[in-house]
A = this chain, B = another copy of it.
């Protein structure tokens, strides 16, 4: 288990400190994207700033991606192995308005958009809001 974690960190050129291993472990076990405050709650006692910087490091190195789903806080989820966070790599995110969980719909790529003349595209954030299958009645 730990091996696998360290391997992941290594493959993204992130030094495997104890803290980072723990955070990555939490992120791996997570089915939905998680926010910084939520991450804090996963630990008995952990420093917000450290977690914050850990997430930033992960994001810079493309181990995770951030999602701004319109709720108060930014959420984070693991990137796929092959992800380089290019526009082609992007997928749709789904925010359930009942349970507030944010899902990565990895199989649904973000549709291509034709921008007006002289607009250059760098990135796309597409969040669908609705009710997830768990909360579906």
Q: Which residues of A contact B (CB under 8 A)?
A: 68, 70, 92, 94, 97, 105, 108, 110-111, 113-133, 136
Q: Is there contact, CB below 8 Å, between A122 and B114? A: no
Chain B nearest CB, measured from A72 CB (Å) = 10
Across the interface, name the chain B residue whose C-beta is closest to A67.
B70
Across the interface, name the chain B residue whose C-beta is closest to A71.
B68
Across the interface, name the chain B residue whose C-beta is closest to A70.
B68
Across the interface, name the chain B residue whose C-beta is closest to A112.
B111
Q: Is there contact, CB below 8 Å, between B113 and A128? A: yes
**Number of identical monomers bound together in the oligomeric complex:** 2
Q: Is there contact, CB below 8 Å, between A119 and B92? A: no
16 sampled A-B residue pairs with Cβ under 8 A: A105-B115, A108-B115, A111-B113, A115-B128, A116-B133, A118-B132, A118-B133, A119-B130, A119-B133, A120-B131, A120-B136, A121-B128, A121-B130, A124-B127, A125-B125, A125-B127
Given contacts A121-B128, A122-B129, A125-B127, 6 further A-B contacts (CB under 8 A): A97-B122, A108-B114, A113-B126, A119-B131, A121-B130, A123-B128
